[in-house]
């Protein structure tokens, strides 16, 4: 193999996508290829999804060893860290999309691709029910089945509304390329509509009010991109509207970017304050109406309505329907994402692996449960966490994962408890209620220490690469049941468990400013960091084609500004 390391970046994260480019003839003969099993004798390996997890897996996989098929409704890969840049036209949508077939063929892989959505997984008969995802569907051929021996689930996640009324109907999400393009169109549309003569002043102001729900990396980056678009380009084209534009970020925690180092979070808040981007922290959205968002201030209980012309919902991830059904079948109904062991094998069934946003290892499970608990407490609008409920989760987690109990509880959750100044284990000291904010703060501290950043491209890509290496060695181990010398000891697993390596993360903040957390707890903010961001993201593109297109888009923007046509 010729290894080509193309790490991955982030509004988000600098990361470790390792794409191994198979170089035709130079691939060394694998132990099995001498036997050259007939195609029919090869195990059927099916991969669901063409995102970070799926494509990183396929890049690293020795496709000659299996009969490989990919099922995904998207026939392209998207470089998601640049999605926010598509919303304001800094980068064109097609510049960050790479066709899956091109990725496969350029690496000389023998893989079949079905542009379809998997709608049901039958783990007993090892069969998938799929539906043609093309826009022109013929009724007779709409659904078909695909058999597998091994299944890798990498279907990612969808936006999570936490059941908040009106979100689906009136908010935009920012998950897919189409979402980004729709937002881009709608922003310009808001400006055009605001120019119409029949609008009242209040209506005009509402049209130019942009609301972002969620102060995480994606929400903040989108707000920053929007601010740049308005202040650098649209004000020149719509000079009379300048004073009417507002950008508001609504965040349920007490800071934006609270998964980042405090210095970056503080820098971002200060920058937004200077730019006039309003940040409403400690606010929960109760309901979204057609023209406004109903918000409750958590500390004072004050209710407020924030009118909007365009609202973007960017808070956490939810489960895809196909996975919900599958989770019922494998006894994981209490979960939001698939539980896997440390070798990424799905619990409760055989020969199924899960990677990326749709999965979580046991180690992360406990923190996920806790995160869910306070989200729930939040949704109940209580503003505080119910300690009894919390104890129940803890008990359950202890029962299910004794090794986690030792690993996490003692080292980290006790630390959370210390930070939150309550004891979760001492009945006598137990207080009735724990402040949710105090707890969140403590938990984010722990998160940082453990570098357990869930749902990032960085994690998905590393998992994909790890799993492919296991698959490349799987048959080898099967041929030698006693295992290689170093792992012959009875009871030991054949492969090393997956270990995540956190490579740092970026937070672009607009007007050529950026925050970055880099390995070694190095924090950097400002203009030079933005240049680092440019170079990292350019180098991390998955092909020379997208790299050239992204560089071209950035240069074009520098000379001609962003394109505000509404197509």
81 is a contact residue toward ligand FAD (CB under 6 A)? yes
CA-CA distances (angstroms) from residue 259 to 8, 30, 255, 256?
18, 43, 10, 9
From candidates 18, 83, 211, 507, binder to ligand FAD by CB under 6 A: 83
3 state SS of 478: helix
| Residue 515 sits in the site that holds ligand FAD (CB under 6 A) | no
The nearer residue to ligand FAD, 249 or 422, going by C-beta atoms, is: 249
Helices 362-379 and 387-400 sit at what angle, rounded to 10 degrees? Answer: 160
* C-alpha–C-alpha distance, residues 447 and 454, integer Å: 10
When binding is defined by CB under 6 A, the residue of 16, 54, 89, 166 that contacts ligand FAD is: 54
Is 542 among the residues that bind ligand FAD (CB under 6 A)?
A: no
**Candidate ranges 51-59, 136-144, 324-332, 510-518; the one touching ligand FAD (CB under 6 A):** 51-59
Residue 467 binds to ligand FAD (criterion: CB under 6 A) = no
Using CA of residue 70, residue 56, residue 325, residue 320, what is the dihedral sign? Answer: negative
- Total residues at the site for ligand FAD (CB under 6 A)? 39
- State how far the alpha carbon of 157 is from the alpha carbons of 65, 99, 249, 258, 331, in Å: 29, 21, 23, 21, 19
Residues 140-159 that bind ligand FAD (CB under 6 A): 154-156
Nearer to ligand FAD, 87 or 564 (CB): 87
Contact by Cβ (8 Å): 147, 44: yes
Minimum CB separation from ligand FAD for residue 247, in Å?
Answer: 17
Return the H-helix or E-strand segment holding 25.
none
- Select 144 or 425, whichever has its Cβ closest to ligand FAD: 144
SS3 of residue 8 by DSSP? strand
What token pair was written down for 112?
């079949």
Contact pick of 19, 48, 311, 514 for ligand FAD (by CB under 6 A): 48
In the numeric block, which tokens belong to residue 208?
Answer: 């130019």
Nearer to ligand FAD, 11 or 248 (CB): 11
Length of the chain: 567
Instruction: Quote the least distance from Cβ 80 to ligand FAD, whole Å.
Output: 3
Binds ligand FAD by CB under 6 A, chosen from 50, 281, 319, 361: 50
Query: In 316-432, which ranges are E strands?
Result: 317-318, 338-340, 352-354, 359-361, 384-386
- Choosing from 16, 46, 53, 536, the residue that interacts with ligand FAD (CB under 6 A) is 53
* 3-class SS letters over 29-60: CCCCCCCCCCHHHCCEEEEECCCHHHHHHHHH
Distance between CA atoms of 459 and 348, rounded to whole angstroms? 23
Residue of 118, 177, 234, 373 that binds ligand FAD (CB under 6 A): 118
Residue from the set 71, 283, 354, 503 that interacts with ligand FAD by CB under 6 A: 71
Which residue in 458, 462, 472, 530 binds ligand FAD (CB under 6 A)? 458
- State the Cα–Cα distance between residues 259 and 400, nearest whole angstrom: 28
Residue 455 found at the interface with ligand FAD (CB under 6 A): yes
Q: Is 546 in the site for ligand FAD (CB under 6 A)?
A: no
385 forms part of the interface with ligand FAD (CB under 6 A): no
Contact range with ligand FAD by CB under 6 A, out of 255-263, 280-288, 456-464, 556-564: 456-464
Least separation in angstroms between residue 123's CB and ligand FAD is: 15
* Closest CB 132 distance from ligand FAD, rounded Å: 12
- In the bound state, the residue with its beta carbon closest to ligand FAD is 51
Q: Does residue 284 contact residue 293 with C-beta atoms inside 8 Å?
A: no
Tell me if 457 contacts ligand FAD by CB under 6 A. yes
63, 80, 361, 513: which one binds ligand FAD (CB under 6 A): 80
357 is a site residue for ligand FAD (CB under 6 A):
yes
Q: Does the protein bind ligand FAD through residue 409 (CB under 6 A)?
A: no
Q: Report which DSSP code applies to 222.
A: H
Cβ neighbours of 15 (radius 10 Å)? 28
The binder of ligand FAD chosen from 61, 104, 174, 245 (CB under 6 A): 174
Per CB under 6 A, does 269 bind ligand FAD? no
CB of 177 to ligand FAD, least distance (A): 10
* Strands 433-435, 384-386: pairing kind: antiparallel
Least distance from ligand FAD to the Cβ atom of residue 217, Å = 6
Regarding 356 and contact with ligand FAD (CB under 6 A), the answer is yes
Helices (H), 61-176: 83-87, 100-106, 167-170
> Does residue 225 belong to the site contacting ligand FAD (CB under 6 A)?
no
Pair of tokens at residue 131: 């539906």
Does the protein bind ligand FAD through residue 462 (CB under 6 A)? Answer: no
DSSP state for residue 307 in the 8-state scheme: E
297-326 residues in contact with ligand FAD (CB under 6 A) are: 320, 322
In sequence order, what E strands does 276-358 have?
277-280, 283-288, 292-297, 303-307, 310-313, 317-318, 338-340, 352-354
550 contributes a contact to ligand FAD by CB under 6 A:
no
Cα-Cα-Cα-Cα dihedral of 138, 143, 144, 150, to 10°? 130
Closer to ligand FAD by Cβ: residue 235 or 518: 518
Query: Which string of b and e fits 429-446 if b means at least 16 CB within 10 Å?
Result: eeeeebbbbbbbbbbbbb
Q: Is 84 in the site for ligand FAD (CB under 6 A)?
A: yes
Give the N- to C-terminal CA distance of the chain in Å, as an integer. Answer: 44
Nearer to ligand FAD (CB atom), residue 261 or residue 357: 357
Is the Cβ–Cβ distance between 257 and 507 less than 8 Å? yes
Tokens encoding 241: 């509207």
Residues 6+ positions from 359 with CB-CB distance below 8 Å: 153, 337, 338, 339, 340, 344, 346, 463
**456 binding ligand FAD? (CB under 6 A):** yes
Q: By CB under 6 A, is residue 504 in contact with ligand FAD? A: no
Q: What are the residues binding ligand FAD (CB under 6 A)?
A: 9-13, 15, 48-54, 71-74, 80-81, 83-84, 117-118, 154-156, 174-175, 218, 320, 322, 356-358, 455-458, 460
């Amino acid at each position: 193999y010729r290894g080509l390391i193309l790490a991955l970046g982030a509004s988000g994260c600098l990361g470790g996508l390792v794409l191994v480019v198979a170089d035709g003839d130079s691939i060394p003969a694998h132990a099995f290829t001498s036997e050259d099993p007939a195609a029919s004798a090869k195990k059927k390996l099916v991969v669901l999804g063409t995102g970070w997890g799926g494509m990183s897996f396929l890049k690293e996989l020795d496709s000659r060893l299996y009969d490989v098929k990919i099922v995904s409704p998207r026939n392209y890969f998207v470089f998601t860290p640049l999605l926010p840049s598509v919303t304001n036209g800094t980068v064109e949508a097609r510049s960050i999309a790479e066709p899956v077939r091109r990725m496969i063929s350029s690496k000389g892989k023998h893989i079949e691709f079905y542009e379809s959505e998997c709608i049901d997984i039958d783990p007993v008969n090892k069969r998938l029910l799929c539906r043609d995802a093309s826009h022109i569907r013929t009724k007779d051929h709409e659904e078909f089945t695909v058999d597998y021996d091994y299944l890798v689930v990498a279907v990612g996640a969808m936006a999570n509304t936490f059941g908040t009324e009106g979100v689906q109907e009136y908010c935009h999400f920012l998950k897919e390329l189409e979402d980004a393009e729709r937002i881009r169109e709608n922003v310009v549309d808001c400006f055009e509509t605001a120019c119409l003569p029949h609008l009242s002043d209040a209506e005009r102001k509402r049209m130019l009010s942009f609301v972002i729900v969620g102060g995480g990396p994606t929400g903040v980056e989108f707000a920053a991109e929007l601010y740049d678009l308005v202040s650098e380009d649209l004000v020149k084209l719509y000079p009379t509207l300048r004073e009417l534009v507002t950008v508001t970020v609504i965040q349920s925690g007490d800071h934006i970017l609270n998964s980042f180092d405090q210095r970056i979070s503080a820098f971002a808040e200060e920058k937004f304050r200077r730019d006039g981007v309003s940040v409403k922290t400690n606010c929960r959205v109760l309901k979204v109406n057609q023209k406004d968002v109903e918000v409750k201030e958590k500390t004072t209980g004050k209710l407020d309505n924030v009118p909007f012309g365009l609202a973007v919902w960017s808070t956490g991830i939810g489960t895809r329907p196909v996975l919900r059904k599958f989770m019922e079948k494998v006894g994981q109904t209490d979960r939001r994402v698939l539980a896997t062991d440390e070798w990424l094998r799905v619990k409760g069934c055989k020969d199924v692996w899960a990677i990326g946003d749709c999965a979580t290892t046991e180690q992360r499970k406990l923190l996920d449960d806790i995160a869910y608990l306070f989200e729930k407490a939040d949704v109940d609008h209580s503003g505080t966490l119910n300690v009894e409920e919390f104890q129940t989760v803890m008990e359950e987690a202890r029962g299910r994962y004794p090794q986690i109990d030792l690993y996490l509880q003692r080292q980290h959750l006790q630390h959370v408890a210390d930070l939150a100044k309550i004891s979760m284990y001492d009945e006598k000291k137990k207080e009735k209620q724990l402040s949710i904010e105090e707890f969140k703060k403590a938990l984010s501290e722990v998160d940082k220490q453990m570098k357990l950043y869930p749902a990032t491209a960085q994690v998905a890509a590393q998992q994909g690469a790890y799993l492919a290496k296991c698959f490349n060695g799987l048959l080898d181990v099967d041929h030698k049941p006693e295992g290689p010398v170093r792992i012959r000891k009875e009871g030991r697993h054949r492969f090393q468990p997956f270990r995540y390596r956190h490579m740092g993360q970026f937070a672009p903040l607009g007007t050529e400013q950026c925050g970055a957390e880099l390995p070694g707890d190095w924090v950097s903010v400002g203009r030079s960091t933005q240049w680092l961001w440019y170079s990292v993201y350019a180098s991390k593109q998955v092909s020379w084609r997208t790299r050239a297109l992204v560089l071209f888009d950035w240069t074009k923007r520098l000379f001609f500004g962003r394109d505000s046509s509404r197509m």
